Amino acid sequence: MSKVLIIAEHDGTHLNQSTAKCLNCAQSIDDAGADVVTLGNQCAAVAEQAAALTGVSKVLTIERAENEHAVAAVMAPQIAALADDYDYVLAPSTTFGKDLAPRVAALLGVGQLSDVMSVEGPREFKRPIYAGNAVVTVQVPEGKKIVATVRAASFRPVAPSGGQAEIASVQISVELPGHTRFVELLSGSSGDRPDLQTAKVVISGGRGVGSEENFEILYRLADKMNAAVGASRAAVDAGFVPNEMQVGQTGKIISPDLYIAFGISGAIQHLTGIKDAGTIVAVNKDGEAPIFEIADIGLVGDLFDVIPELEKHL
């Protein structure tokens, strides 16, 4: 039997949905169940949310004042110590997991797999390279621990189990470094709008939207459709919207049921972020824009005409 450990991502109160996606991945490695570890400071609520998920054998909590904020240099030695008992250590392929997993792997003296998109066998995985323009199947030699990040867009979250797994508090006596200190989180806060990474509908704007003020019409449409709002890098760079809204190779990789792109040309780095969407709609005034090559529904038109008209129909 292989033992799988999943590092939970959370903000102290809420478990991030990426953890439920890691559990789905863990089930395709070994359906006997996985353990989830939460590192935090007084985050019992998070442990309970994790314990309610399908496929969880046990939730381990490491409560320590130093774990108040997710600082990779502080968390990694604790996880590396805990990993002694496991064959697999999984983290989500979010900025949280990408920051942490390589540090854990290096402490364990092994390589790390990034963005696992499917499990082909106990030691065989698929992952995207070259901005998703190629997919490589990799094999991990026997006898090595496997540390991997799980590509959230490739896995559906597991459902609640209806029960509650055991929660155990663990003490890990490793020395933690003081050389890295959390200062603050500056968030652009999207208000009450759904989260970009979990929303069923995402509406995105690109350079074609033109300004921060113009983005208002996208927000209005999004609110009518209960959608999250995303953006291309060009829109972020131009200062129309904050960075956490960027979708793409270096932004967020998302998989909503419906993605609507307004004024986005469709550079490969952007398309990487949306290829897993159920349906892609593109509205662009240039009929030659590359986004139409991958759109399921394309409309050549001016977004400033299309959006108000769309709104009338909703």
Ligand X SMILES: Cc1cc2nc3c(=O)[nH]c(=O)nc-3n(C[C@H](O)[C@H](O)[C@H](O)COP(=O)(O)OP(=O)(O)OC[C@H]3O[C@@H](n4cnc5c(N)ncnc54)[C@H](O)[C@@H]3O)c2cc1C
Q: Is 271 in the site for ligand X (CB under 6 A)?
A: no
Between residue 206 and residue 245, which ones bind ligand X under the rule CB under 6 A? 206-208, 232-235
213 touches 183 (CB < 8 A)? no
Residue 269 as a binder of ligand X (CB under 6 A): the answer is: yes
CB 272 within 8 A of CB 132: yes
Q: How many CB atoms lie within 10 A of CB 226?
A: 11
Minimum distance from CB of 248 to another protein (Å)? 10
Decide if residue 267 touches ligand X (CB under 6 A): yes
User: What span, in angstroms and rounded, lies between the C-alpha atoms of 29 and 43?
Assistant: 28
CB of 235 to another protein, least distance (A): 12
232 binds, among another protein, ligand X, none (CB under 5 to 8 A by kind): ligand X
Please provide residue 167's backbone torsions phi and psi, each rounded to the nearest 5 degrees: -115, 125
Distance CA 25, CA 208 (A): 38
* Nearest to another protein of 4, 76 (CB atom): 76
Report residue 92 CA to chain centroid gap: 6
What six digits make up the tokens of 64? Answer: 């320590």
Q: Which residues contact 115 (CB under 8 A, 6 or more apart)?
A: 93, 127, 128, 149, 150, 151
263 binds ligand X (CB under 6 A): yes
Stretch that binds ligand X, among 47-55, 161-169, 173-181, 285-293 (CB under 6 A): 285-293
Residue 229 contact partner, candidates another protein, ligand X, none, CB within 5 to 8 A by sort of partner: none
Minimum CB distance to ligand X smaller for 20 or for 247 = 247
For residue 80, give both structure tokens. Answer: 């590396």
Minimum Å distance from CB 188 to ligand X?
A: 16
Applying CB under 6 A, which residues contact ligand X?
A: 206-208, 232-235, 246-251, 263-265, 267, 269-270, 273, 283-286, 289, 302-304
